[in-house]
Structures are given as structure tokens and as C-alpha cells.
Copies of this chain bind each other. A is one copy, B any other.
Amino acid sequence: MSELKNSGYKGEALRLLKQANCSVGDIIKVTSKSKTYEGILIPRFGEGTDIIVKMKSGYNVGIKATADVKVERVGEGTKPTFASPPIPKQNPNLPHVVIMSTGGTIASRVDYRTGAVRSAISASDLYGVVPELGDIAKVDTEIVFSIYSENLTQQDWTHLAKKVAERIEQGVDGVVVAHGTDTMAYTSAALSFALQNLPVPVILVGAQRSSDRPSSDAATNLIGAVKAAGEAPFAEVGLAMHETVSDDAIVVHRGTKVRKCHTSRRDTFKSINGTPIAKVRNLKVTMQTDQFQRRDPQRKLVLKPDFCEKVALVKFYPGLDPSVIDFHVQRGARGILLEGSGLGHVSKFCFDAIKNAVARGVMVALASQCIWGRVNMNVYDTGRDLLSLGVVPMEDMFPETALVKLMWTLGQTDDPQEAIKLLKTNIAGEFSPRTLPQEKHLQYEEEP
């Protein structure tokens, strides 16, 4: 009998699936016009009326449920089972690491294992699918929320920062935050500013592929993150993911210097204008820099979790309508991050709007859409003109971290002088020193 309760299907899709006697987890074949898709029927979330099939390749395909679509039940799939394996006896000599889950593909690793969706992780789930964790840490888990990372807001950052702080104050040896990769680098920058004077590491981790794909990176990333959280000698916010497309090494990037640079690759995260903090290979943590804050359980965490929501990013491009700057000012923006071109430019057509924004007390800052390198607004007339209008150059921060820093800064103070001072202060390694040899900044090379 068809079991589609809580499957999320409705309307035509539900009718077609019922007619073919399909249940969630079954192997089904869906024929639509000229194409046929065979795979596991998975539940439907969100809007839309398509039937979702998880293909052998691991990707999900959505097929619109129209009258000419044919659905066939090919076989019984693995039925969802909610019986978790027992938690192994924990070794009290291992470091105590808490894994906090926020949602995303890494949390869905467990969900999709059996064809069922459970958007949360429990310690027993984790040990069931990544038994190696029992050898490297006493793992505790906490579901902070379960949100696709693209839907996270500044309020969620605040909530998450407070939750992490609670655990650190309870004395854990490290915190791992499982996160969707889409906005993970924004969150890692946010936590870097919010959690100051850390005694232990806080490591964000995600997955580019869910566990039922042969190339899943969920387990290796998680092991690397837990290892770093429990044992690494640094005490900063980091982001742990594959270093290359192979499983050889997990690299921990500094929270303020990391960016998602590929839509699908496992090594999508790259350190920009800086080197990674550490590497985890063969369960061994190796530091990649000597510039880091040392782990020190006695250090007293300083929590500054507030972010201003009234901050907008305006990316410059040829033909940009400068009235979008006026629009943000009228909407009550307290800060605007210009994503300028080259060394830090926008067209002269924007000057009046910027002048007006600054006059109204809006903090206007600028980072470069080049991503790599440092803004230098003293080289060309346009840069100098922008400086004289009061635009604050964001050094070698790429736009996403610059935006988060502006949000955080305006969440700390209402005083413009204080805000400029904070913007120009290196809070969490978000600047690289100016003395770095210029030609060494670029972190990528042509393929051979």
C-alpha cells in the first residue's frame, strides 16, 4: 500500500504516486515526454508540484507532475528506519567536542541514508554513520536550528553565537558547527567577529555531496573538523573542508579569510589573501601558519553577538543605476558596502548618491569585486575622489567578509567615529598585514 503521509506531495503528484502505489523510499521510474528517470522517491519539501527522484548519481531530479507523466513502481526501496545504533562507550580521556547542527547537506547526510529525511543529527546518528568519531572525541550534539543556509539571517547568527558561547562556557574542548555550504563563509566571518578571545577552536563544516553519493565528502569533512576542534593548538573560528578533490586532507581556513569559490567541487572553499590555519591529514593536525591565537582553556570568551540588519551590498558594474544607493538610504540603511572594481572604483555617476549617503550618516565602505588583492584608493583619481567623499577602504577583505564586518561594526556602536575605528581595527585576522609581498597574495594558479 502506498505510504505517502507526511511525504509533502499534493495535487497531481500525489495522485500519480498513489495510483502507482509508491511509497517514500521505493525505487520508481518516471517517464516525462522523451525522458525517463529511475531512482528513489524522496519526500517533497517547499513549494512546487514536481516529483523528486534521487538518481543513482546522487543528484535529485524534480519532474513536473503533469497529465502526460507516467509513474511506475520498480521495486521496494530501503524503508526508513529510525532505530539508531547504540552510542559506543565513550573514552573519557578523549577531548569533549560538541557538534551543533544548523542544517544543510552535511546534516542531510544522515537524513538521506535510508531514503528518509531527517533534518537533524543526534550523537547516535553520527556514530552510526561515522563510527571513527568515537576514536577521536567524546561527541555531544545539539540541534540549534534546521534551516537551508541561504535562509539564515543576522538574527540566526546572533542566536548561533550565543549557543556556541554557552557551550564554551560549559568547558568543552572545541565546537563544530555543521552548516549548509551556501552561506557558510558568511557565518564563519560573523562568528569570528562575535566570538572574541576564544579559549578553544570553533570549526564550521559542511558537505558538498550527501552521503549516498559515492563521492560524498560529509564523513571526511566531519572527522577533520572534530579532530581540529578537539586537539588543534589554535583557538579561532575556522572552516574545515576538503583541501583538494581527493580525500587526502582536510584544510581549516581562517573564518574571515575563506570564500566558497565553486558551485559543486569538494574543495570549493579557498583561503583568500591568506593561508589556511591548519591541515588535518591521517588524523594528524598540522599548523599552516605561526600567526594564530593559541588554545588556552583559561581564556575568557568575549561575546559580541549583535549585527546590524540595515546594511546593504551594492555591486558595481557598467551601467549601474546610482539611484539604488538612494533607495537603500531611503530604506534606512546604516551602512553600504560598495563592491567596486579594480583597486577600489565605482563610476563617477555614483558620486552624488554616495555623497548624499555619507551626508545622511550612512557608513559607506568599499571592497573589490576582484576578490583577490587589496584595495588601494590612492592610485587613480576615482579612488581619491571616493576617499574624499568619505568612503572607507576595506583593505584586503573580499566583499563578503567586508559586508559581515560592516554589519557587525554597526551592531556594536551608533557612534560614527567609533564605527570607523572598529572598521579599521583588525578584529579576527580579517586584514592581512600590508607588508606581505604583493606578488604572493594570489592563492590560485592556472591548471598545468
Contact = CB atoms under 8 A, between A and B. Distances in A.
Contacts of A319: 153-154, 309, 311, 407
Contact of A313 (B151, B157, B317, B388): B317
Interface in A370-426: 370-376, 378-382, 384-385, 388, 400, 403, 407
Nearest to A440: B447
Contact of A265 (B327, B351, B441): B441
Given A264-B374, A348-B151, A384 B46 contact: yes
Interface in A242-270: 243-245, 251, 260-265, 267-268, 270
Nearest to A348: B151
Is chain A's binding surface mostly helix, strand, loop or mixed? loop
Contact of A263 (B62, B262, B375, B439): B375
A345 B103 CA distance: 15
A296 interface: no
A381 B46 CA distance: 6
A393 to B, nearest CB: 11
Contacts of A388: 47-50
Max chain B Cβ within 10 angstroms of own Cβ: one of A152, A186, A317, A327: A317
Contact of A318 (B152, B263, B348, B439): B152
Given A323-B331, A385-B47, A388-B48, A318 B154 contact: yes
A248 B15 CA distance: 66
A407 B317 CA distance: 12
27 contacts: A46-B348, A46-B384, A47-B351, A49-B388, A59-B378, A59-B379, A60-B380, A62-B378, A148-B345, A150-B318, A150-B346, A151-B348, A151-B349, A152-B318, A153-B319, A154-B319, A244-B446, A245-B439, A261-B371, A262-B372, A263-B342, A263-B374, A313-B315, A313-B320, A317-B403, A321-B331, A443-B444
Interface of A: 45-50, 52, 59-62, 148-154, 157, 181-183, 186-187, 243-245, 251, 260-265, 267-268, 270, 275, 309, 311-313, 315-321, 323-324, 327-328, 331, 339-349, 351, 368-376, 378-382, 384-385, 388, 400, 403, 407, 438-447
